[in-house]
Amino acid sequence: MREDSGLDRTALAARLRVQGNVISREQAFACGLTRSALAHRVRPDGPWRRLLCGIYLAQTGPPSVPQQEMAALLHAGSGSVLTGSAALRSLGLSTAEPGHFDVLVPAVRRPRSASFVRIRRTSRMPQRVIREGSRFYALPPRAFADAARFMDDLAEVRALIAGAVQRGDCPLGALVRELQDGPMRHSALLRQVLEEAAAGIRSIAEGDFLDLIKRARLPVPLFNASLYAADGTFIAKADAWWPKAAVAAEVDSKEWHLNPADWARTMRRHARMTSYGILVLHFTPGQIRTDPAAVTAAVADTLRVGSARQLPPVIARAAA
C-alpha cells in the first residue's frame, strides 16, 4: 500500500525518536500520515502496534517501561506528570516493576484510566517536575506521598516511607510538608507512618513492634535513640529504648541485617550496651508477628527488673 504523498517522513522520524517510538494518533496525522496508512501500519502483521486507544508503538514486540510511560503521558494529555511507584522506579528510588502507571492531570480535565494507565485528577499539579526527554516525573516527596496514598496496606506504606527516610532518598521534613499540603483523602496510612518516622521508626519490623507495645499497653519506647555514657562517650543506637528502666530492644534478623558482618556488628553492639549496665532484648520480626505474647511478656518482665534497680548513667538523644 502506498502511503499518502503528504507524509513528512523527517517529522515522523523525529517525533518517534524523541518519544521512544511512541506516538499518538493526532501526532501521526500532524506528520501527514493518513487514516488508511495508519490502519495499515497497525494491522495484525504490521510494523506498528496499538498500546492504548489512539496511542501506538512504532515497532514489534512488547514495550519497555519508558515506552509505557510515554504512552501513559500521551494518553493523559499535555501537561500530565508521572507520579507514584512508576515515577520512583524511573528516578532510581525503587526497583519494583510498576503494575500501573499513575499520571497526574488537572482536576478540570476528564481523561479516563485505561489498561496500564491510572489517571489521578488533582487540583494541585506539581509546580516543579523532573524531565527526562519527553517524559515528566513528580519530585520525590510528591512521588513517595502519592505512592503511599495509592496503597491500602500499612506494611507496604511502612516499607515505602521508612525505607525512603532510612536510605536518605527523601527527607522526612519534605514528606511531612507534602502530607500537609496534599489531600486528606487516602492519607491516613501515610500520616500514621510519618508520625512513626518522626518518632524514630525506620523499618517495618520496628513499626510492628510499636503496634505490639501499644496493644499490650506497655510504655512506649524511644526508637533509634543514640545512647551516650555520662562522659559523652557514644555507646550505641538502640532500636527501642526505655529510659526509666535502661532497657534496650533490638529487632534482629537477616531480613534487615543483610550479611554476616552486619550481624557480627549487632552482637558487638549488644556486648557494648551490656557493659554500660543496659539490659538488652533481642527479637526477630518473625517473633513479633507470630508470638506476640512472649515478646510482650519479655519486655514487661525486663522493664520491671530494670526499673527496680539503680539506673546506669546513660543519656539518650532522640532520633533526628
Q: Characterize 19-57 residue by residue with b for buried, 16 or more Cβ atoms within 10 angstroms of its Cβ, and e for exposed.
A: bbbbbbbebbeebbbeeebbebbeeeeeebbebbeebbb
Helices (H) and strands (E) counted in the chain, each on its own, are 13, 13
> What confidence tens digit (pLDDT) does each residue in 178-234 have?
999 998 889 999 999 999 988 888 888 889 999 999 999 999 999 999 999 999 999
Which phi and psi angles does 225 have, rounded to 5°? -80, 140
Judge contact between 128 and 141, C-beta under 8 A.
no
Orientation angle between helical segments 154-167 and 140-149, nearest 10 degrees: 160
Which phi and psi angles does 111 have, rounded to 5°? -70, 155
Cα–Cα dist 69/311, whole Å: 58
Give the predicted TM-score (pTM) of the model. 0.79
What type of residue is 100?
H
Of the ranges 80-89, 137-146, 266-275, which one carries the lowest mean pLDDT score? 266-275
What type of residue is 250?
E
pLDDT at 202: 80
Domain architecture of the chain: domains with CATH: 9-63 (no CATH), 66-198 (no CATH), 219-317 (3.40.960)
Number of residues assigned to the chain: 320
> What confidence tens digit (pLDDT) does each residue in 143-193 have?
999 999 999 999 899 989 988 988 889 999 999 999 999 988 899 999 999
pLDDT at 5: 65
If residue 251 lies in a helix (H) or strand (E), which one and from where to where?
Answer: strand 247-251
Query: How distant is the alpha carbon of residue 222 from its chain centre?
Result: 24
